[in-house]
Amino acid sequence: MNKQMDNVAADAGIRGGVHLSQRHDSAHKHVTGLAEYTDDIPEPAGTLHAYLGLSDRAHAEIVSIDFDAVRAAPGVVGVLTAADVPGSNDISPVGKHDDPLFAEGKVEFHGQQMFAVIAETRDQARRAAKLAKVEYRDLPFVTDVAEAVSADYPYVTDPLKLERGEVEPAMAAAPRRLKGAMRVGGQDHFYLEGHIAFAFPGEDDEVTVYSSTQHPSEVQHMVAHVLGVPSNAVTIIVRRMGGGFGGKETQPNIFASITALAAKKYHRAVKLRPDRDDDMVATGKRHDFLNEYEVGFDEDGRVLAVDGVFAARCGFSADLSGAVTDRALFHADNSYYYPAVRLVSRPMKTNTVSNTAFRGFGGPQGLIIAERIMEEIAYALGKDPLEVRRVNFYGDGERNVTPYHQTVTDCIIERVVDELVESADYQARRQAVLDWNAKGGVIRKGIAISTVKFGISFTATWYNQAGALVHVYSDGSVHLNHGGTEMGQGLFTKVAQVVADVFQIDLDRVKITATTTAKVPNTSATAASSGSDLNGMAAENAAQQIKDRLIDFAAEKYSVDREQVVFQPNAVLIGNRRVSFDDFIKEAYIARVHLSAAGFYKTPDIHWDRAAGKGRPFYYFAYGAACSEVSVDTLTGEYVVDRADVLHDVGRSLNPAVDKGQVEGAFVQGMGWLTTEELWWDDKGRLRTHAPSTYKIPLAGDRPAIFNVKLAEWSVNKEPTIRRSKAVGEPPFMLPISVLEALSMAVASVADYRECPRLDAPATPERVLKAIDRLGGREA
């Protein structure tokens, strides 16, 4: 398909406009090492290096810290503690003042930063940081979410309740009922480029920080607060991250603030890059959840009532846990209509690192319960789980209102699933799996379809805004800047495609430039999958302003109607005079046309009343479905994913190649979350899985052996988003829930599918083996 579209474009249009498959603008630089990351920036003479001093208690008063040995260590220039902070020693992203930059008086998790060592080299700083002698007075602590619930540990932020209909009577009247609980594991971001910041002092109160951040404006504000200077003194720059995945939405504040503080204090450039173990220990991760549910249903498998409680391990501070646990509730229905429903969140405080954003932002941890409920009902009724899913899909008429009272008006899940069932040959393959398992061998198979309906917009409504800056230089080349950040997802490429399309110029005429708070202010995090929706629109708006001025200029100068000024590929047609774009721009410049514009966009028609639990928090939904087949060795618990078929909705894709890459990457990352990536804290509250030696992310070989990923090419966003596309970053992350449920089926086969095996996530081989044992599989 894309080949064909590209050829058409080459003949008739510009190179690289919208809806065409374009390689990521930096793809060749990523693989050859030419892409510049923060650590590649040449260090000026005299650059200093900072390193974190971390607590080794889960909860304790700090009685004293003796830095003598640290200060005496080779290369050490100084030590920074809370006492060195001229402004506020707090980097809470939500204004709760519960996130000290340096622990003061007490530590609340094992690995909390208490101080920073500044030295001539990174190695010197890192070694010296271990030499501090800390005297603690231990306090009781809780690390696990279930323990936190039973110990009545506090919430880190206000819980949310979503309610619609009368749950008790509906539950009581339901012909069938069941209760269940599911633990859903957390996840380390494991970006290839870890956290890093590099600060340069300026004159007066000024400082510039290169930060690996998804949220330059927040880093700017945090650095300003810490230094006690206004935001206009602080400039943040990020050309790209080597992956963020949500891990760089708030966590960069630690590193940027410390380097800025040190740069101002010593008046030298200062860099801070923790090693992988410390990055994993000291920065927040995906929240693990303990979810409990009760569901009432009828003999057809139709849900009548759902009552759910979603408890999350938030860690020691609020960070983004409020919005994360809210989003879990917003997705606890997934594609399914619940006639009566009550969903409650429990954002539990624990003495662990403060958990944060991670692809899906709580959505996956909520959505997985909807899928589990479908499986539970199917096992209870002896049905194909697909049948149960189908009778519960959001539909027309009454059956289209969510637990948060938003009406679903764009539901395409039935068509997506129908097409997937067909292309994946689900029915025949399910029969083959059943036949295979009926033979009773050691290797058992499972196959499952799961669906995704993911809400697009920040639920913090004010975040849904963006700015852009476009300059057209007098030679006709274009400089593009916007508030979004590039973390590998292809945002810069897509937004440049939009600008190229507005001016009808080849994509390589548009220069993509580093995100900086000095060019576009007050930006939102590049998060919630909203990067291209928001920044694409803002950039289009900026380019369109310039284009409008150019049209006015041409119409006046050549005495033609505005309609007679037409932008053609790399040229402009004015009446019947055709000039190249570059010559036209030169003319416009000479005529003193303003060739620069700031663009802006805010998402329309969204609102959310959290106290009432009602509103339209999402502008639209993105949909998808996946069918996964697995083989499980019932003697060892080992398994492989033999095949996965995906059909995913990105509306009218801005760039099918990039979007398909996002779907594939999200699927594999989601598989890691649900299968092998296990976080484990010991009885001292230490994270023991803090390196690739103990924490297993998927390898190339873990990719499904057959992996058919397709975009729903017919889908067009009903809302006027940028060129009718849909957000793609997070929604496909939840597709591999089909892998977990396929594993469940393989396990269930050892007991003739009488029982839903209720596999918790991650379904590590160990956990799969235990489930088989529990069902009596190995005796059989």
Strand partners, 646: 626, 709
Determine if 489 is a binding residue for ligand MTE (CB under 6 A): yes
The binder of ligand MTE chosen from 308, 488, 672, 685 (CB under 6 A): 488
Token digits for 354? Answer: 């403060």
The dihedral of CA 635, 779, 381, 767: what is its sign? negative
Torsion of CA 128, 130, 133, 136, to 10 degrees: 150
Helix (H, G, I), strand (E, B) or coil at 286: strand
Determine if 455 is a binding residue for ligand MTE (CB under 6 A): no
The binder of ligand HPA chosen from 357, 534, 709, 768 (CB under 6 A): 357
Q: Which of 193, 218, 587, 730 is catalytic?
A: 730
CA distance 728 to 528: 10
Least Cβ distance, residue 540 to ligand MTE (angstroms): 15
CA distance 264 to 372: 53
Least Cβ distance, residue 607 to ligand MOS (angstroms): 20
The binder of ligand MTE chosen from 252, 531, 637, 651 (CB under 6 A): 531
CA distance 109 to 313: 13
The dihedral of CA 34, 37, 39, 43: what is its sign? positive
Residue 460 binds what, of ligand MTE, ligand MOS, ligand HPA, none (CB under 5 to 8 Å, by partner type)? ligand HPA
Closest CA to 74 of 56, 52, 49: 49
Least Cβ distance, residue 303 to ligand MTE (angstroms): 30
Please give the size of the binding site for ligand MOS, defined by CB under 6 A.
10
Binding to ligand MOS in span 427-466, by CB under 6 A: none
Binding to ligand HPA in span 461-480, by CB under 6 A: 463
Of 482 and 509, the one with the shorter C-beta distance to ligand MTE is: 482
Q: Given its phi and psi angles, is residue 576 left (phi above 0), alpha (psi -120 to 50 degrees) or beta?
A: alpha
CA distance 365 to 185: 8
Determine if 359 is a binding residue for ligand MOS (CB under 6 A): yes
The binder of ligand HPA chosen from 528, 641, 711, 727 (CB under 6 A): 528
What single DSSP character describes residue 36? P
Residue 135 annotated in active site: no
Q: Are 524 and 483 in contact (CB under 8 A)?
A: yes
Determine if 328 is a binding residue for ligand MOS (CB under 6 A): no
What single DSSP character describes residue 468? E
Q: Which helix (H) or strand (E) holds 61?
A: strand 60-66
Of 189 and 758, the one with the shorter C-beta distance to ligand MOS is: 189
The binder of ligand MOS chosen from 119, 420, 499, 528 (CB under 6 A): 528
Give Cβ neighbours of residue 431 (< 8 Å, ≥ 6 apart).
none
The binder of ligand HPA chosen from 460, 565, 750, 772 (CB under 6 A): 460
Residue 489 binds what, of ligand MOS, ligand MTE, ligand HPA, none (CB under 5 to 8 Å, by partner type)? ligand MTE
Other Cβ atoms closer than 10 A to 615: 16
**In angstroms, what is the C-alpha Rg of the chain?**
27
Determine if 320 is a binding residue for ligand MOS (CB under 6 A): no
Task: Show the CA angle centred on residue 122, arms to residues 119 and 124, nearest 5°.
Answer: 55
CA distance 168 to 18: 51
Least Cβ distance, residue 485 to ligand MTE (angstroms): 8
The binder of ligand MOS chosen from 18, 160, 348, 357 (CB under 6 A): 357
Please give the size of the binding site for ligand MTE, defined by CB under 6 A.
20
Site string for ligand HPA, 359-378 (x = CB under 6 A): --x-----------------
Catalytic residues: 730
Where along the sequence are the contacts to ligand MTE (CB under 6 A)? 243-246, 359, 487-489, 491, 526-532, 662, 665, 729-730
Where along the sequence are the contacts to ligand HPA (CB under 6 A)? 249, 320, 323, 327, 357, 361, 458-460, 463, 525, 527-528
